[in-house]
């Protein structure tokens, strides 16, 4: 597929078909995604792929912990957000809300959905060794960007899940991830459910003049 088409078509998938993704498909996805550039070619990313029953078992732990500790998706801001960021957050909510089943609260859908990887048959947990400073998180962002586009090109849907980093201890224990690794993100991967209304929710973007300056 042409890159521009892939970029324009890709959106986060929040409803998946009950159809497993073969291990070879995930391996191909990782092989292509890790063509991403990284500083000094360090390739500081590490992946733990959790599939099928194991993914469901992991999600049960995450949902339990999320409810007990009252964890919720948030912007990760250290100060109150300026109005234009608040506006973008509100717009995402306005875009998703009309596609939710009646009676389901937006925050519940996002929090429970995120912990469940929205029902994706595979979850990719992205970690980084604590030997690195936060500067190397840029490299992880780039590889994840490659991954969501590559997945779309392969007919797969993805949803990046930042919320799960709140459950790093639980995840590390369940998946035998070494103490000296940080859990950065999760990515739900599977075949999108084409009939699910939630997959019709398409978020917009700020116009270029709001985010770029030219000299
Ligand atoms: C770093 C990062 C963390 C995210 N965390 C979550 C999350 O925890 N739960 C969720 O439902 N979506 C999450 N998303 C998906 C965003 O909400 C989504 O990418 C954004 O609204 C733009 O929509 P689009 O991906 O459909 O273009 C995350 C995306 C990124 C890049």
Question: Cβ < 6 Å from ligand 1: which residues?
Answer: 11-12, 73, 92, 110, 113-114, 159-163, 203
Q: Is residue 26 a part of any domain in this protein?
A: yes
Q: Is residue 110 a part of any domain in this protein?
A: no
Q: What pLDDT, on the 0 to 100 scale, is given for residue 114?
A: 98
Q: Which residues lie across from 46 on neighbouring strands? A: 127
Q: Is residue 92 a part of any domain in this protein?
A: no
Determine the Cα–Cα distance for residues 16 and 78; give it in Å rounded to an integer.
34
Q: Is residue 50 a part of any domain in this protein?
A: yes
Q: Is residue 78 a part of any domain in this protein?
A: no
- Domain range for 13: 3-71+115-198
* CA contacts within 13 A on the Cβ side of 200: 8
47 Cα to the center of ligand 1, angstroms? 19
Q: What pLDDT, on the 0 to 100 scale, is given for residue 214?
A: 98
Q: Which of 12, 71, 100 to mutate to test the pocket of ligand 1 (most atoms within 8 A of CB)?
A: 12
Tokens found for residue 3: 């890159």
CA dihedral 7, 202, 193, 106 (to 10 degrees): 140
Q: What pLDDT, on the 0 to 100 scale, is given for residue 15?
A: 98
Determine the Cα–Cα distance for residues 190 and 198; give it in Å rounded to an integer.
15
Q: What pLDDT, on the 0 to 100 scale, is given for residue 64?
A: 97
* Chain centroid offset of residue 150 CA: 14
pLDDT digits (tens), the chain, 215 positions: 699 999 999 999 999 999 999 999 999 999 999 999 999 999 999 999 999 999 999 999 999 999 999 999 999 999 999 999 999 999 999 999 999 999 999 999 999 999 999 999 999 999 999 999 999 999 999 999 999 999 999 999 999 999 999 999 999 999 999 999 999 999 999 999 999 999 999 999 999 999 999 99
Q: What pLDDT, on the 0 to 100 scale, is given for residue 173?
A: 98
Contacts of 100 (CB under 8 A, 6+ apart): 106, 109, 197, 198
Q: What pLDDT, on the 0 to 100 scale, is given for residue 75?
A: 93
Count of structural domains within the chain: 1
pTM: predicted TM-score of the whole model, two decimal places: 0.98
User: Is residue 82 exposed (0-12), middle (13-18) or buried (19+ Cβ within 10 Å)?
Assistant: exposed
161 Cα to the center of ligand 1, angstroms? 6
Q: Is residue 190 a part of any domain in this protein?
A: yes
207 Cα to the center of ligand 1, angstroms? 19
Tokens found for residue 2: 């042409």
What is the CATH classification number for the domain harbouring 131?
3.40.109.10
* Chain centroid offset of residue 166 CA: 14
Q: Is residue 100 a part of any domain in this protein?
A: no
Q: What pLDDT, on the 0 to 100 scale, is given for residue 136?
A: 98
SS3 209: helix
Q: Which of 162, 164, 198 to mutate to test the pocket of ligand 1 (most atoms within 8 A of CB)?
A: 162
Q: Is residue 81 a part of any domain in this protein?
A: no
């Amino acid at each position: 597929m042409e890159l521009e088409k892939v970029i324009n078509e890709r959106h986060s998938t929040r409803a998946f078909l009950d159809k497993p993704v073969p291990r070879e498909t995930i391996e191909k996805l990782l092989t292509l995604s890790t063509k991403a550039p990284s500083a000094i070619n360090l390739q500081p990313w590490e992946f733990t792929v959790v599939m099928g029953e194991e993914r469901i078992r992991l999600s049960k732990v995450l949902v339990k912990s999320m409810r007990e500790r009252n964890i919720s998706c948030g912007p990760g801001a250290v100060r109150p957000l300026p109005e234009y960021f608040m506006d973008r957050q509100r717009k995402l909510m306005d875009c998703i809300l009309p596609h939710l089943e009646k009676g389901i609260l937006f925050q519940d859908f996002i929090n429970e959905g995120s912990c469940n990887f929205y029902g994706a048959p595979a979850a990719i947990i992205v970690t980084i060794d604590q030997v690195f400073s936060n500067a190397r998180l840029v490299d992880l962002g780039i590889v994840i960007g490659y991954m969501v586009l590559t997945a779309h090109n392969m007919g797969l849907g993805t949803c990046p899940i930042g919320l799960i980093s709140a459950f790093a201890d639980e995840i590390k224990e369940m998946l035998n991830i070494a103490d000296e690794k940080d859990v950065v993100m999760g990515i739900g991967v599977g075949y999108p459910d084409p009939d699910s209304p939630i997959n019709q929710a398409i978020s917009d973007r700020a116009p270029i003049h709001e985010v770029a300056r030219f000299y």
